[in-house]
Amino acid sequence: MIVGGLAAAGVALGIAAAVPAQAHADATTQDATFVAGVRAGGVTGSVSTLIANGHTVCYDIDVAGMRPADMQHQLWWQTDMDQNHSIWFTIVAIDNYCPWDTHLMPGQTDATGSTVA
């Protein structure tokens, strides 16, 4: 859940400390790209909160089994984002942190050939 995003960030920071410097540099570049992307859509907030919530979107999709639309609604209701910003944030988070989940986005085709609602 987005509310628990900071806890997920703490876990991510603990893992980042244990990886080689090159992997850390790649993560920093990925985070910078993500922050630039969400800010380009008008989403505001501290860098650490944006990154934590971006990772939480993917965690909740990949681990908790939530749909991208569920995450968008959660962002809309549990943060100061309006509906358009929460949609933008969810798309940018998936594009940057879990691109393997793009097929779950509404309008995409799933593994069975059906269009995701």
pLDDT one digit per residue (tens) for the chain, 117 residues: 343 333 333 333 333 333 334 444 455 889 999 999 999 999 999 999 999 999 999 999 999 998 999 889 999 988 889 999 999 999 999 999 999 988 888 776 545 555 555
Q: Give domain status of residue 10, yes or no.
A: yes
How many independent structural domains does the chain possess? 1
Give the range of the structural domain holding residue 56, as residue numbers without chain letter.
2-104
With respect to residue 65, please indicate whether it lies within any of the assigned structural domains: yes
Helix (H, G, I), strand (E, B) or coil at 109: strand
Asked whether residue 97 is domain-assigned, the answer is yes
Distance CA 37, CA 56 (A): 16
Residue 23 covered by a domain: yes
Interatomic CA distance for residues 114 and 117, integer angstroms: 9
Q: Considering the domain boundaries, does residue 76 fall inside one?
A: yes
Q: Does a structural domain hold residue 112?
A: no
